[in-house]
Structure 1
């Protein structure tokens, strides 16, 4: 457990320009230590003196804004931090979910894939704009109608622990999100350009086109939720048992339907199977399905065990 001063410094420096963090950290730590020393010199308990000094300095986000010369006055200082926190939270997942649902519904209604994706993106942008407008308007009204509202006071118990070495890095998160995005993109692209062609150069989809009105939109929706999960996992910073449970459920939500479609010969398009004659020869397709099931199961089990070990090491 870190000291209150270390936690206060970490919370403050998180919101100041990176190039000034060392300077501000040294200045602020020195000021805090001097203020604590003044109180302990008069006989006050060091622990109580530290709490009083940090409480007197106030919310570290407001202190950071003063150091960075940021004015917390878009809608007024009373509600600014609450407004910003709520807006960030809603924009992090609501537009993506609504856009995905709209796209899936359009595909199910017979719209073209490209048209459905365009509609979904447009809807997500519109939802983001609406959220930003109405949340800002609501808080602006509150600021003027009830400027003296009694919001909970900040105190040192609100400080988070100083971040330790993260199990979930930004690079890993970006790589996972990019990989999922590329995979979703190819699921859509292969319908038009899979790089598998007939003798006369016509495109052959790898996935059965009939699945666009049934399972494919569902699988893509699971992948989109998986991207949101990766962002949430990064924000938490460490593997936890609830995160592991969510990851297992998402893996199963994608793998079970996909493997079931493969085992029942419904995943691959008939034209693709015919293009590679060895797939339709004897039990070759069943062999491919069996190998895929075993391979995917082994990968999922390995990832689950690896994540569980990380949780145990973190909790040890």
Structure 2
């Protein structure tokens, strides 16, 4: 039966170059036997000494990597920072571009809001592919040229000290995205909605007569809100002038929506032909009140939230 030493040598030698196995086997066996003999000379049992010596030598695969001068890492420190910087750069815009293109194509084919799902899936798939192929490329380079001559670091590469921002980029991007979706939906619902007539034709949710003035006006207000969010981010913090502009924009959007809803001019009258509950005037009035109260609630909440932020950030 093979001894622990024989098993340890076999496990180590299977991972070293064939031309060096005899040399390494002779050297390693001699070292193990010397270490066991030293412990046995001190009165320790040979089997116990052998087990302790092999335990101290550690994992045979790790020992083999030292003999073979082979790195046990996918991407080492020589290439890691370059890999990480390039990965962040590619992931910062390529998946978003692909996802946007997919959404645009799906919308053009008439999928409406159903195009968002395929766009997100496409962006995630592209991100995974970028991460995989870039990592594989650097892993191959790492093994082909483990000690590259990389440009040295200098103090000129130090970034500027970041300024404290009370308005986060994530919050700004989320708000702008929501506003962009709202801007896109106003014309989209005129051509693609979830209500269709008996012939399968599209029935817009909002009254088509509103395109004479109110819908373009609301789109202008939403576009101005996008500009406001960008300006607010550039400034980096709330102030009272920004609070005033925000209030005016919210009121400029909510008041027309509430007035149109209460006067039964917001929704398309043709909806009553397909949604029987809208044929009842009381139901339409109730829905108008709900829409108006919702718009007022959004404005009030927005004013309270922005006022608290402004007060806190201007102290």
User: TM-score range, shorter-chain basis?
Assistant: 0.3 to 0.5
Higher CA-based Rg: 2
Q: TM-score, normalised by structure 1?
A: 0.47
The one of the two structures with greater contact order (alpha-carbon pairs below 8 A, sep at least 6) is 1
Using the size of structure 2 for normalisation, the TM-score is 0.47
